[in-house]
Amino acid sequence: MQHKNKKQISVEKENKNSQLPDCPSGARGEWPLWEVFIRSKQGMDHKHAGSLHAADAQMAIENARDVYTRRMEGISIWVVESKYIHASDPAEGSSLYDPANDKIYRHPTFYHLPDELKNM
C-alpha cells in the first residue's frame, strides 16, 4: 500500500514540472556547469572545491572567487566546464583496479638497503 502511494506522489511531481511556464531568457538550465579547483596558500595542488553555473569562463572564475574563497580558502582558481571532465565508471572498478593488487613485483620492495641508508 505504502509503495503505491509513493509512486503516485512522484508521478504527480513530474506532471507539475511539465506544466511550468517557459522560464525567461537566461534560465538556469542554459548556463553550463563548471567544476572548480582551488589551490590553498600552502598547497601544491588544486583541490576540487565544488561546482557552479556561469555563462562563460570569466564569470566562472569570478563566481568561484565569490563563492569558494570567501574565507581565504585559496589563492589560485582553475575552472573547467563539467562536460570536459571524463571520469572512470565505478562499475568497472573491479576490472580497472583489482588486477594491480597482486602484482607485487611492481613495487620496489625487494632491494636490500645497507644499514647506513636505513632512513631512506
Partner 1 sequence: MKKKPGPHISKTSKKEKQDFLENYTLHMADDALILGHRNSEWTGHGPILEQDIAISNIALDLIGQARNFYQYAADIINKKRDGKKKIDEDILAYHRDVWDFKNCLLAEQPNGDWARTILRQFFFSLYQFYLYEQLQYSKDSTIAAISEKAIREVSYHVKWSGEWVIRLGDGTEESHQRMLNAMDDLVKFTGELFREVNYEQEAFNKKTGANLSELKPKWEQKVNIILKEATLPILADRKWDLYGGKEGKHTEHLGYILAEMQFLQRAYPGCEW
- Closest distance between partner 1 and the C-beta of residue 9, in Å? 27
**10-17, Cβ contacts within 8 angstroms, sequence gap of 24 or more:** none
Q: Closer to partner 1 at the Cβ: 26 or 114?
A: 26
Which sign does the torsion angle of CA 82, 29, 69, 62 carry?
positive
Nearer to partner 1, 21 or 90 (CB): 21
Q: How far is the CB of 22 from partner 1 (least distance, A)?
A: 13
Which spans of this chain sit near partner 1 (rule: CB under 8 A)? 24-26, 28, 31, 52-55, 58-59, 62-63, 66-67, 70
Reading the block at residue 2, the C-alpha cell is 505504502
Q: Which lies closer to partner 1 via its Cβ, residue 33 or residue 85?
A: 33
CB atoms under 10 Å from CB of 60, counted, come to 25
